[in-house]
Amino acid sequence: MDVIPAIDLLDGRCVRLYQGDYEKSQVFNENPLEVARQWVEQGATRLHLVDLDGAKQGKPINLPTIAKIVQEIPIPVQVGGGLRDFQSVANLLKLGVERAILGTIAVEKVSIVEQLCQAFPHQIVVGIDARNGKVATKGWLETSEVNATDLAQQMESLGVAAIIFTDIHRDGTLSGPNLESLRELAHAVNIPIIASGGVSSLTDLLSLLSLEPLGVTGAIVGKALYTGDLSLSEAIQAVGQGRWQDVPPNLGFSSFA
């Protein structure tokens, strides 16, 4: 399972939000490239970038910063935020971004998702950000009536490469991932699922590792890395070794299968 550091971009800076609230942002570094280099040094094999300005305004805003990171960093980069038309995605991928993450248009413009999957096979990922089981859109500012599992199945049928699932109520809270929702989603589709939101410790990561046989192939980690609650190098080592013995027995791994 991949441990993927998140770099959230707002006004050209590296920040973290609390439950997706733009009014509750915390700046961690004025230089996102410096942050990206730090994660590479600690062993990251992939970076997850979110253009928060883009998500809010409906079009990519932080492209210069993203381009600089892609040019300087020797590992794959996946990017989401504000990608709501074909050309925006095409322009992003031309920068050298490995995978584009779609959100709002997966709900509102399904035909474009299908076109993108055909034009850029294996490079289109859909981020499903859920609030109480319903898909949120427009940078989490709105909540649709679409069920997260139903959307995942539809996206799989269109040919997306993977699903990134975020429980908004867990994001930025260090309260642990929503294992129940992830398990439900993993049973519903056959494409890889990347967990996002709430990871705060090695215990959280190892609990996610128990879902790997179901198709949960990665975990995006944000705030815990920036606060020091979690060391990226230690997390990568722990997940790689699968140190089951380090996890308290009351996590009940058998119940996740």
Write the CATH number for 146: 3.20.20.70
pLDDT at site 192: 97
Would you please indicate which residues are annotated as catalytic (active-site) residues?
A: 8, 129
| Per-residue buried b or exposed e for 57-96, using 16+ beta carbons within 10 Å of the residue's own CB | ebbbbbbebbebbbeebeeebbbbbbbbebebbeebbebe
pLDDT greater than 60 at residue 88: yes
**Paired tokens of 223:** 């705030």
Q: Residue 29 sits in which domain range? A: 2-256
Look up residue 33 and give its two tokens: 């490239």
Chain centroid to CA 233: how far? Answer: 19
Percent of the chain past pLDDT 90, that is, above it, reads: 68
* 74 DSSP assignment: S
pLDDT > 50? residue 48: yes
Specify the range with the lowest mean pLDDT, choosing from 26-35, 142-151, 195-204: 142-151
Identify whether the C-beta of residue 242 lies closer than 8 Å to the C-beta of residue 199: no
Residue closest to 69 by CA, chosen among 38, 25, 33 = 33
Q: Taking the mean position of all CA atoms in its chain, how far away is CA 185?
A: 15
Name every residue whose Cβ is closer than 8 Å to that of residue 232 and which is 6 or more positions away in sequence.
3, 5, 39, 42, 43, 44, 221, 225
> How many Cα atoms within 13 Å fall on the side-chain side of residue 87?
2
> Which of 31 and 254 is assigned the larger pLDDT?
31
Task: Tell me the pLDDT tens digit for each residue of 127-145.
Answer: 998 887 778 776 656 677 7
- pLDDT class for 245, splitting at 50, 70, 90? very low
Cβ-based neighbour number of residue 183 at 10 Å:
18
- Alpha-carbon gap, residue 212 to 210, rounded angstroms: 6
Give me the number of domains the chain comprises: 1
